[in-house]
Structure 1
């Protein structure tokens, strides 16, 4: 087999009426030459306004026979790793493929066309516009269009491994580890073709090599009438894939006369217990990590292997042992990295936000391709069926049936892994939807969008008590933070780096006290594009990341998790480095460290020392200009000795009055003090009344509904669609208007004006 990338010299045509028209425009002087990966939304999909181009664009390239190493009587394929979202491929004017999945690999056979001419005209259309059947259509991220992953030519000999099964590699490896006896029975399967037909009686030679490349097992089998070759070999005393502790991988090589395939695999068992949580190789192994989108500032989703390597470096630095790769199939290279680094993966399809009755087949095709293309990965533990699918859809029989079909398909294709789904926080815990997958997780944003931080604690405790037979996880939680914004006493919705850190301090402690949570995933490791958003001082970004969109700045909350999870390298981190100008007479100094003892120094003088775990809080006088330093001492518990003490430092200054540059909304403050001088007439409506009660009055309800509409619009199209969700409205109805407005970042004068209006509307007496 020979593989040749054809990522250069593509012509990009934004507007064309047809493939023929695109081919004509491609030879015009104004045609743009691009290299792959490429997206047309790298700029407009990240700048806010929800006005990025969504439609059909075209890519054109001439392919010469001399570019392709040909086998006599062999087959030639075009392979696309990612074409978003609906793609059609034309070869010499004829449509060869229609593919509806923007995240998976697909291939087309171009052998016959090459036999007719030495130059092929390849025209590819990619469409990311509105659809009633292709997911995703509504979600809190930008839907980039384009040929954003590699395109290559595969040249295969006459007798070759089958590449036509849902984009798979043609080799399937199923290791079954016996925990008691220590051996692994590994089932090896391939499918072989001769030309375009199944190849009967072909000899397939299997060889398994250890991590050092030494052959330890060999087996020969012949294909049956369907071209299928299968055997099971036993690895005695199998070395286990032990996650980040020891991600040991074996290699299997399958060989025909003129072609070989190789795949890496790991010997491990995954299990999930409602009381014990996640089990790796029979031992408790709480999954604690982050979620990740694939886009980067200025690049969109058209990223390189270097970016993926950088992303993994952040994962390893923070010490996570799991990733939720949201909300779609990610690059094959990154799953390989997860195998190699020992990161346990939740892989999912983009069945998200809104149920589309015409999209059922699309979801099934996406699941087939996800599993077929990623079956061999040691890192993948669960297949995700959907994410927050009830945000804009009711739980009805049609939605349930779609999920049951996905669940059954996943188990039929892969009996070795469990299924899961991420449920939106409004979904009632007795919903029949929770009965479909093997295990569940919830996306909860108490303390950010709704409610108080402690409500997450109560939610999980109640679920665990009421559903002892169900495993439960925490699939999303987070708070937006713009590092430009700082405060001495951060509050919800001020978008400060400090509030994000406090939010995560609470959630980390909550999680650590509940080891039965089978997996927890911070939302998100990186800020990402959501072009419909306009909040927190940024246009078109969701800022819940622990690292900025351009990967240049680790927010304080990043170091919180690094202190809790990373046991390899000792470190100490002073929070609030960007908060240099401080107005209060005393100031709080927070230190995160994975060392058990931290000392604080001011202008070179030691002023305090604490023993603790992860989080260290100090209070010092704020006078003049001061150099603050923190030192960590002692061995990392369960890790290596620290050697020299670790040190971090920062400068702070005493100033008169708040620094306006640190404040997202200068009028945001303590709501409790806004009304000290105002008389509240209890016979009239006020912001201290509950939203649900206010809405029962037509006049008062109209007033607050207008303000709520404006607030939801600033958080993108998903927030706008979720506003009518009955469960959410029920939850919001129990909250006072003043609490909702504070949470929404509404300024003091706006709240006071609303209160004046409401105080002019009398409550109707029964």
Structure 2
């Protein structure tokens, strides 16, 4: 027996072939029933979907996939989110077109334990909520079809039931101490895939290029999937196309016989090509090559398509980050799979919108926290030009036993194998906050170090081309390639003006420093005329790290996270200072602000929006906070201008008191106008804090004021304007709530509640809790995890907003603030 290797050039012969077809895959989004509880056994799931008798228990509901068990209760202010079993069921029409083909259920992510049944047969169980897995149901389908009675009962369709379970389990990662919800459900896409008898199990493509970009090397590795013996020969053909779609004249074929494969000689195949001056992938110009790997057998041809990019990167020791030989300041953020109304079940459309918003903000780097994320996100990072740090969910709690460790190993292997081809990925993260104890009676640093070293060695063995990293575990910082300490200057510790000195001190303690996680919480819609007052209480020089208890809103040393006002005004100043300083740190590899979007968490029930981490620059429904525009003014390439305060309807102070107007822009200069009068032209200087010098001190008229700005960048001229009321009346203690309808559109009514004193003056510093309730035909649009989509929320400057779906009927909305009479409005 022998293998033959045949090398070809790429010819139009294959380009014009009509036989090649991609493996057939379809998303199973529709015709599902769902049950948010456990069953007594699989028999309770087996009956024709949508049928039964009135005594059938329990009650199933219709859903579409992706679907999250905790879409609503993850931010319900009155209860903990559900952690337990749930069931999904459907009936599939299976029509595999390939002779002796394989039928696969491909899960892109399902949390956290998943069991798959065909009729009453358990086919596979997967542990881990974030890595992909495949379930070959071919044999189970054939077994079911052999029983005519079953066939008749289900009209020829195949009953499939899936149990998911996100119950608390100390021997699983991530820990329930983690600062994010551990969701349940089939919350990523589930695909039905048809494969021929011989198909690809793995196609790995690695594109390498030297620092000068002169010589490129492409390495392609393939493994075959052949669970049953095949009698025919197979051939693998490769076609490479450049970013413009033009075929590159490199082609190869590997032939294997059935007897070779039967003898174990049909395993991994590696093909290597070298060519000069490939077009480079970068964050500004993410050039992607297309590799088509075609498998031919006597009965079928299938094609696997991989996008790849040639790039060279380097972390200079105690120095900057280089991409393709040039310094690139990594301007980053973070992402959780979490969105208003759907929890983790984000559609491709939602994901695409989120990543485009990041790119428009100027992001070129992202840390995906704290788990392997959807393949769609990685594809978007490839195509948009966003460099990636992706990590496994070994997060907080300590270190468990062998079952725990094996899951961590398996998820690291799966993450690397499944996202190996993405040129955007440069770092495999091995853990987060592994210095955080709590799950086990023993917290052993030596054991954690030993396991961290094991994971580090495993990562380098599986993928020597990428770096490893962790965040916040100082006793392991010497193990990984890149380390991020905890630096929260101006939030959990210290004041934000200490950021640069603390960062430089931490940089000198490791070879490769990359600062991920910084920023602070802001309650959307809350603003302050004196946002930095809390800094007076905070002790400087005591460090800027986060320590045990710092995230609490009670007790401990003075800190802005506890003693500040959580205003957008303060966070804009903090971010503005950080970005200003980053422009003057030539040794800095980069940073990643935490996070891009507010997300739900079980450990923050007392936050202004309960169960929400509010450190995002956009709300959970993509509503932009003012801080989004601060980032744009430093990072965005397209010209922009934004006056601070678009969501600040009422400012306050004395008559004649000088106030500041701030404008965030990346333009060269701007001219501000107040009530039709020019305030003058200011030149932008990114070291002139705040707002890079684009600020004007002036006095407002009592009542309505209008601010306009005209910004110029070269020949580009941009405009922005806002109007607001200036209130000079002083307020006393809150005495009444006023409800008013702001707008109505498509059956949705927006209601604003304002907290006023006995004279009807709005209490503009009020942060009281308010509760909305509804009686009648309508429905509150609540449990969204946003400042205007919560039935229980802290007020922002003495106001709060809620929306109601009228359902074409009548309702009464009530608003209750403790110690103040309730208010009502008929809708």
Q: CA offsets, 1:682-703, max 9 Å, x none?
A: xxxxxxxxxxxxxxxxxxxxxx
2:612 to 538, 541, 553: 541
User: Which residues in structure 2 correspond to 1:32-43 (within 5 Å)?
Assistant: 32-43=61-72
Q: CA offsets, 1:713-749, max 9 Å, x none?
A: x99xxxxxxxxxxxxxxxxxxxxxxxxxxxxxxxxxx
Please say if residues 186 and 233 of structure 1, whose CA atoms lie closer than 8 Å, have aligned partners that are also in contact.
Answer: yes
Counterpart of 1:488 in structure 2 is 529
2:388 to 337, 345, 359: 345
How far off is 1:194 after superposition? 3.8
How far off is 1:626 after superposition? 4.8
CA distance in 1, matches of 2:141, 2:304: 25
Please say if residues 96 and 102 of structure 2, whose CA atoms lie closer than 8 Å, have aligned partners that are also in contact.
Answer: no
* 1:85 aligned onto 2:112: yes
* 1:132 aligned onto 2:170: yes
* 1:592 aligned onto 2:630: no
* 1:100 aligned onto 2:127: yes
Q: CA offsets, 1:482-522, max 9 Å, x none?
A: 12322100143211110111111222223222232323111
* 1:256 aligned onto 2:295: yes
Secondary structure (helix, strand or coil) at the match of 1:52 reads coil
CA distance in 2, matches of 1:389, 1:96: 35
Q: CA offsets, 1:310-352, max 9 Å, x none?
A: 1012112201111111111111111101100101111111111
* 1:663 aligned onto 2:733: no
CA distance change for structure 1 residues 381 and 265 in 2, over 3 Å: closer, same or farther?
same
Q: CA offsets, 1:90-117, max 9 Å, x none?
A: 2222222121111121011111122231
Counterpart of 1:651 in structure 2 is 724
CA distance in 1, matches of 2:696, 2:287: 43
Q: CA offsets, 1:261-307, max 9 Å, x none?
A: 11000000121113332110111101012111121111111111110
CA distance in 1, matches of 2:382, 2:615: 26
User: Which residues in structure 2 correspond to 1:365-444 (within 5 Å)?
Assistant: 365-392=410-437, 394=443, 396-423=445-472, 431-444=474-487
How far off is 1:148 after superposition? 0.8
Counterpart of 1:62 in structure 2 is 91
CA distance in 1, matches of 2:708, 2:178: 42
* 1:571 aligned onto 2:614: no
User: Which residues in structure 2 correspond to 1:32-431 (within 5 Å)?
Assistant: 32-49=61-78, 51-65=80-94, 68-116=95-143, 117=145, 119-136=157-174, 137-162=176-201, 170-180=202-212, 182-196=214-228, 202-216=234-248, 217-223=250-256, 225-243=265-283, 245-257=284-296, 258-358=301-401, 359-392=404-437, 394=443, 396-423=445-472, 431=474
Structure ranking higher in helix proportion: 1
Counterpart of 1:688 in structure 2 is none
Secondary structure (helix, strand or coil) at the match of 1:155 reads strand
Q: CA offsets, 1:214-259, max 9 Å, x none?
A: 211222223570432221112322000011x110000000111211
CA distance in 1, matches of 2:447, 2:279: 45
User: Which residues in structure 2 correspond to 1:429-578 (within 5 Å)?
Assistant: 431-465=474-508, 467=509, 470-491=511-532, 492=560, 493-552=564-623, 554-575=624-645, 577-578=647-648
2:679 to 607, 611, 618: 607
How far off is 1:377 after superposition? 0.4
How far off is 1:386 after superposition? 0.8
Please say if residues 570 and 642 of structure 1, whose CA atoms lie closer than 8 Å, have aligned partners that are also in contact.
Answer: no
CA distance in 1, matches of 2:670, 2:228: 68
CA distance in 1, matches of 2:231, 2:526: 65
Secondary structure (helix, strand or coil) at the match of 2:131 reads coil
CA distance in 1, matches of 2:78, 2:766: 19
Secondary structure (helix, strand or coil) at the match of 1:291 reads strand
* 1:622 aligned onto 2:700: yes
Q: How many residues align?
A: 645
Q: Bigger shift: 280-289 or 450-459?
A: 450-459
Secondary structure (helix, strand or coil) at the match of 2:75 reads coil
CA distance in 1, matches of 2:526, 2:638: 32
How far off is 1:24 after superposition? 5.5
Q: CA offsets, 1:15-66, max 9 Å, x none?
A: 212323333696546321211011121111112356111111111122233x
Counterpart of 2:20 in structure 1 is none
CA distance in 1, matches of 2:698, 2:417: 58
CA distance in 2, matches of 1:50, 1:329: 28
1:3 to 11, 25, 37: 25
CA distance change for structure 1 residues 502 and 49 in 2, over 3 Å: closer, same or farther?
farther
For structure 2, the 5+ residue unaligned runs are 1-22, 146-155, 533-559, 732-760, 770-791, 794-827
CA distance in 2, matches of 1:420, 1:200: 46
CA distance in 2, matches of 1:56, 1:365: 23
How far off is 1:630 after superposition? 4.2
Please say if residues 115 and 163 of structure 2, whose CA atoms lie closer than 8 Å, have aligned partners that are also in contact.
Answer: yes
How far off is 1:529 after superposition? 1.0
CA distance change for structure 1 residues 414 and 275 in 2, over 3 Å: closer, same or farther?
same
CA distance in 2, matches of 1:519, 1:458: 15
User: Which residues in structure 2 correspond to 1:722-733 (within 5 Å)?
Assistant: none
Counterpart of 1:719 in structure 2 is none
How far off is 1:376 after superposition? 0.4
CA distance change for structure 1 residues 145 and 388 in 2, over 3 Å: closer, same or farther?
same
Q: Bigger shift: 623-632 or 272-281?
A: 623-632
Please say if residues 277 and 518 of structure 1, whose CA atoms lie closer than 8 Å, have aligned partners that are also in contact.
Answer: yes
What's the TM-score, normalizing by structure 2? Answer: 0.74
Please say if residues 598 and 632 of structure 1, whose CA atoms lie closer than 8 Å, have aligned partners that are also in contact.
Answer: yes
Cα RMSD of the aligned pairs, angstroms, is 2.4
Please say if residues 622 and 653 of structure 1, whose CA atoms lie closer than 8 Å, have aligned partners that are also in contact.
Answer: yes
